[in-house]
Amino acid sequence: MPGVYGLPEVYYLPAYVITGNLQERGTANGGTVAISHIDEHNKPTMVDVSGKDNTRRSARAETYVSFPPEVYAQLQAAGMQGKKGPIIDTAIIAGVMAAKRTHDLIPFCHPLPIECCNINIDEVPERTALRITAHVRVTHKTGVEMEALTAATMAALTIYDMCKALTHDIVIGDTRLLSKRGGKSAVGQP
């Protein structure tokens, strides 16, 4: 059966689901865990959260935007101002906008009434980089990990866009979830 771009489905599924039941995957301790976005017919589906209670949830994510040393020095000397305008402020706005639109970008994310989205962008001179941290909060039936990751990533992409006239040797990387609270599990430090 054709999948994305006419390729067989097996080509775009994660490696752990290629050979077995798509609803289960192995864990480090040898057990299995259900994959929530796969139905009983091994088809992708949005998770039904209608039976869940609203709870307070939060997530923090980070990513880095690294520059060649001479470009980083140039940006610092210009007060992080580029030809397109204030780099940091524009990236913060883009990150907040992205958090609110995550459900439009990632297929199985639920639309959420984001209550708070804070984006911090700090200079990291020893890495000739900017560190972007996104903290998102909501009171709802599902978590906001993807919203935090999307916010941080879109802020990084915006920085790239605003600085690409200086160089294309900009690296976006080390994107990760720092923490999540609420729901069934907690990850990282609050």
Domain span(s) for CATH 3.30.70.640 in the chain: 55-181
φ, ψ of residue 122 to 5 degrees: the values are -115, 145
The rounded distance, in Å, linking the Cα atoms of 135 and 178 is 9
Quote the pLDDT of residue 123: 98
Token output for 22 = 């798509």
CB 134, CB 117: distance < 8 Å: yes
| Residue 52 binned pLDDT confidence (cut-offs 50, 70, 90) | confident
Mean pLDDT of all residues in the chain? Answer: 86
- Biggest CA–CA distance in the chain, Å, is 58
Quote the pLDDT of residue 35: 66
Q: Which residues are catalytic?
A: 161
Quote the pLDDT of residue 51: 84
Which of 153, 151, 156, 133 is CA-nearest to residue 66? 156
**Superfamily name with CATH number, domain 55-181:** Molybdopterin cofactor biosynthesis C (MoaC) domain (3.30.70.640)
| Residue 30 binned pLDDT confidence (cut-offs 50, 70, 90) | low
Question: What is the rounded average pLDDT of the residues 46-55?
Answer: 86
